[in-house]
Amino acid sequence: MQAVHPDALLLLDQIRAAGSPTYESLPPTEARLAHAARGRALQSGPDPMAEIRDMEAWDGKHRVPVRLYRHAEAAPGALMPCLLFLHGGGWVLGSLETHDWVCRRLARESGGCVLSVDYRLAPEHPFPAAVEDALAALRWLAREAEALGIDPARIALGGDSAGGNLAAVLALMGRDGTAPPSIFQALLYPAVDLAVAEGGYGPRTPGMVLTAETMHYFIGHYLPDPAMRFDWRASPLRAPSLRSTPPALVLTCGHDPLAREGRLYAERLEREGVRVTALHLSDLPHAVLTMDKAIGPAAALLGFVAAMLRDAWR
């Protein structure tokens, strides 16, 4: 088995000692509470912001709660770039609150705005509800950008895990003209192939927060119809072409069942002519960016994501 970062080993020991149940052993409502509690325990205090505004995105069909983060005021008359951020949690867990620290830190480090999207969750709202809400939020952001002090020509997409999946789907839609275009996609340990068969997740590191079993639990709730798992809006790795999508950052972690598909996605992007930065963290687990109090490199990694955004917006 490949090496594990010492901070991750310590965290896993603490989780085992506490007897924390796995997400897949819980009903979704209880798993959400456990996920939120773990986030509060493993993330630092929130960075102060110049503005935080809760709003509702509306595209004529769907009303979606969103939260705007602005670390500093723009110069008079200037429009700021913006990252549309989609949280992780397997399309079953997660909220604006679980990723509040991440969004604040990205806004602070990037110098732009972050608009976080509270899309509907499965199993109450299975596929394609999350895609519909993500699309509604992006359309609203593009339409209302100038009123919000945002430059509509400098909208980036990003998300972790399930959110990385949704960001990749929106990037493909923008390429095809069914969504507003974006200029960058930050895919942070994304899930990009939901048609993975039992046993298809490769080498396993025992005791990790996300396992193959957890992924099948999430996918079963999000896509109860197995035939839909081959739809590229669920599995962007299976899209006929990735060509002409925006430049990308694809971050993967070695101790993560999603590592293989994330790396394949980065390779396909490169092979099909898309500029891509692929960063593989061989000794770290899934969800590292939401564990900064426990895993030392997390804050620096978010700083790297923010630097990539600054470069794209420049």
Q: How does pLDDT run across 272-314, given as a tens digit for each residue?
A: 999 999 999 999 999 999 999 999 999 999 999 999 999 999 9
User: Is it the case that residue 1 has pLDDT exceeding 70?
Assistant: no
Specify whether 311 is catalytic. Answer: no
- pLDDT tens sequence across 264-281: 999 999 999 999 999 999
Among candidate residues 71, 118, 286, 292, the one labeled active-site is 286
The CA distances from residue 51 to 68, 80, 145, 291, in Å, are 8, 13, 16, 24
Give which of 125, 143, 168, 115 is closest to 59, Cα–Cα.
143
Active-site pick, 116, 161, 182, 235: 161
pTM score of the predicted model:
0.97
Annotated catalytic residue within 151, 231, 256, 292: 256
Residues 149-193: tens digit of each pLDDT: 999 999 999 999 999 999 999 999 999 999 999 999 999 999 999
**Residue 25, SS3 per DSSP:** helix
Instruction: For 199-233, write each residue's pLDDT tens digit.
Output: 778 667 778 889 999 999 999 999 999 999 999 99
Residue type, 34: A
Section 106-133 average pLDDT: 98
Separation CA 286–CA 301 (nearest Å): 13
Q: Say whether 221 is catalytic.
A: no
- Annotated catalytic, 161? yes
| Residue 151 region by backbone torsions, left for phi larger than 0, else alpha for psi between -120 and 50, else beta | beta
Count of CA atoms in the C-beta half-sphere (13 A) of 51: 16
